């Protein structure tokens, strides 16, 4: 099936779901950040702690093949509009909105991983007193951090000569999230610490 962005550019799939060797699978136990977050959010919903979901990307179906009367196969579709951020929901009466990103970079988080419309969306959430942040996984280091959106936006708009945020700043001003069994990425403990203490 061929998916296309607005304007017709072909979508080739996310690199975050690709692994190059069995050792990579062992390193992160075959889990991507998205899978870990989906499992974590399911845990939060099932225990009544929060209601947070991955946002679906709006898709317009263009062509469908009907090889059999009972089976339909989508052969061409387009993304209707650029997506905002990956996850949103409600926790402790507050609106939460965040983007999840993985990078193979060992020293910094490149700005190219976030699109301009996503930054505008996070800025809008902050203007309306919502909670916005990024969850960033450095896959080769096997480290995951929660990084407040206001810090990210300060770096992006205030440091025009830079093309990334140094890992050292993320370590100092972000919050490390250790992986655990259940929930896998317990980011709401950090949300409590930052936004509700």
Residue entry with tokens 């060992």: 106
Question: Is residue 99 annotated as involved in ligand binding?
Answer: yes
Closest CA to 82 of 120, 109, 128, 132: 120
Question: Is residue 172 annotated as involved in ligand binding?
Answer: no
DSSP for the chain, written as a single string: -EEE-TTSPBP---GGG--SSHHHHHHTTT--HHHHHHHHHHHHHHTTS-EEEEPPPPEEEEEEEEEETTEEEEEEEEESS----SEEEEETTEEEEEEEEEE--SSEEEGGGS-HHHHHHHHHHHHTT-EEEEEEEETTTTEEEEEEHHHHHHHHHH-TT-SEEEHHHHHHHSEE--B-SSSSB-HHHHHHHHH--
Question: Is residue 39 annotated as involved in ligand binding?
Answer: no
Q: Which residues are annotated as a binding site?
A: 84, 86, 99, 118
Q: Which residues are annotated as a binding site for Mg(2+)?
A: 84, 86, 99, 118
């Amino acid at each position: 099936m061929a998916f296309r962005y607005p304007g017709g550019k072909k979508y080739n799939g996310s690199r975050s779901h690709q692994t190059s060797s069995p050792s990579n699978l062992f390193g992160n136990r075959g889990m991507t950040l998205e899978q870990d977050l989906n499992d974590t959010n399911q845990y939060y919903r099932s225990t009544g702690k929060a209601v947070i979901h991955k946002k679906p990307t709006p898709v317009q179906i263009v062509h469908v093949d009907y090889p059999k009367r009972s089976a339909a196969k989508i052969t061409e579709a387009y993304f209707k509009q650029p997506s905002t951020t990956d996850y949103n929901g409600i926790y402790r009466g507050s609106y939460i909105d965040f983007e999840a990103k993985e990078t193979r970079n060992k020293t910094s988080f490149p700005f190219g991983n976030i699109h301009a419309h996503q930054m505008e969306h996070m800025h809008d959430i902050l203007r309306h007193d919502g909670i916005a942040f990024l969850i960033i996984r450095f896959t080769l280091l096997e480290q995951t951090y929660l990084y407040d959106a206001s810090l990210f936006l300060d770096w992006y708009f205030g440091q025009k000569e830079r093309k990334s945020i140094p890992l050292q700043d993320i370590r100092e001003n972000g919050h490390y999230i250790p992986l655990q069994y259940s929930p896998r990425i317990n980011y709401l403990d950090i949300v409590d610490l930052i936004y509700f203490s």
